[in-house]
Amino acid sequence: MRRRALEFMERWLHILLAIALCAMLALLSWGISESDVVASMIAGALLAAVIVLGGSVVLVPDSLRSQATERTLRMASSTFEHMRSGLTPENCTAVCQIVLPETAAQAIALTDTKCVLAYVGEQAPEYPPGSPNTRPTIEVLRSGRMETFSTSSIRDAEWGEHQDPANENGVDGFPVGVIVPLIVADRTVGTLKLYYRTGQQVDRTQLTIARGLATLLSSQLSSYELDRQAELTARAEVKALQAQINPHFLFNTLNTIASLTRTDPTKARDLLREFAMFYRRTLESSESQIPLSQELEQTRRYLTIEKARFGEDRIVESEHMEPGLEDVLVPSFLVQPIVENSVRHAMREDGPLHIDVHVATDGRDVLIAVADDGLGMDDDVAERLLERAKTTRGDEAGTGIALRNVAERIERFYGVGSGIEIMSKPGEGTVVTLRLADAVPQQVE
Does residue 47 carry a pLDDT above 60?
no
- Look at 247 and 125; give whichever has higher pLDDT: 125
Q: What is the pLDDT of residue 37?
A: 45
Q: What percent of the chain has pLDDT over 70?
A: 66
- Confidence tier at 374 by pLDDT (50, 70, 90): very high
Whole-number Å distance between alpha carbons of 299 and 311: 17
Comparing 117-126, 144-153, 429-438, the range with the smallest average pLDDT is 144-153
Least confident span in 127-136, 192-201, 330-339, 435-444: 435-444
Q: Is the pLDDT of residue 103 over 80?
A: yes
CA dihedral 388, 391, 396, 401 (to 10 degrees): 50
Q: Which of 49-53, 118-122, 358-362 has the lowest mean pLDDT?
A: 49-53
Q: Where are the beta strands (DSSP E) in 57-166?
A: 107-111, 116-121, 147-150
Cβ atoms 422, 430 nearer than 8 A: yes
Is the pLDDT at 295 greater than 70, yes or no? yes
**Range of weakest confidence among 135-144, 168-177, 226-235, 389-398:** 389-398
Contact predicate 214/146, CB 8 Å: yes
pLDDT tens per residue across span 151-203: 654 444 433 433 333 333 333 457 788 999 998 877 888 999 999 988 888 88
**Average pLDDT score over residue span 437-445:** 77
Q: State the Cα–Cα distance between residues 325 and 443, nearest whole angstrom.
A: 10
- DSSP symbol at 364: T
* pLDDT beyond 90 at 317: yes
| 3-class DSSP assignment, residue 416 | coil
- The pLDDT confidence band at residue 284, using thresholds 50, 70 and 90, is low
Higher pLDDT, 416 or 295: 295
Which of 123-127, 267-271, 307-311 is predicted with the least confidence, judged by mean pLDDT? 123-127
Is the model's pLDDT at 370 over the cut of 70? yes
Q: What is the pLDDT of residue 83?
A: 76
Question: Looking at the domain 244-444, which fold is it?
Answer: Heat Shock Protein 90 (3.30.565)
Backbone angles phi, psi at 65, to 5 degrees: -60, -45
**Band of residue 445 on the pLDDT scale cut at 50, 70, 90:** low
At 65 the pLDDT is 46
Report CA-CA distances (Å) from 54 to 23, 61, 74, 80, 352: 19, 13, 20, 25, 73
Q: How far apart are CA 86 and CA 89, in angstroms?
A: 10
Confidence of residue 394 (pLDDT cuts 50, 70, 90): very low
| pLDDT at residue 231 tops 80 | no
Lowest mean pLDDT among 45-54, 316-325, 329-338, 370-379: 45-54
Q: Indicate the range of 48-57, 83-92, 177-186 predicted with least confidence.
A: 48-57
Q: What is the pLDDT at residue 111?
A: 93
CB of 72 closer than 8 Å to CB of 11: yes
Q: For 37-41, 93-97, 398-402, which range has the lowest pLDDT when averaged over its residues?
A: 37-41
Out of 78-87, 175-184, 249-258, 398-407, the most confident range is: 175-184
| Contacts of residue 309, Cβ cutoff 8 Å, sequence gap at least 6 | 252, 253, 256
What residue type is assigned to position 88 of the chain? Answer: T
Spatial distance between the Cα atoms of 400 and 237, rounded to a whole number of angstroms: 14
* Cα 308 to Cα 306: distance, rounded to the nearest angstrom: 5
What percent of the chain has a predicted confidence (pLDDT) above 90? 25
pLDDT at 395 over 50: no
Q: Does the pLDDT value for residue 310 go beyond 60?
A: yes
Q: Please, which pLDDT band fits residue 18 given cuts at 50, 70 and 90?
A: low
Please provide the average confidence, as pLDDT, over all residues in the chain: 75
Band the pLDDT of 10: cuts 50, 70, 90: low
- What is the Cα–Cα distance from 31 to 315, expressed in whole angstroms? 46
Span 277-290, average pLDDT: 71
* Residue 441 pLDDT: 83
pTM for the structure as a whole: 0.49
| For residues 300-305, average pLDDT | 92
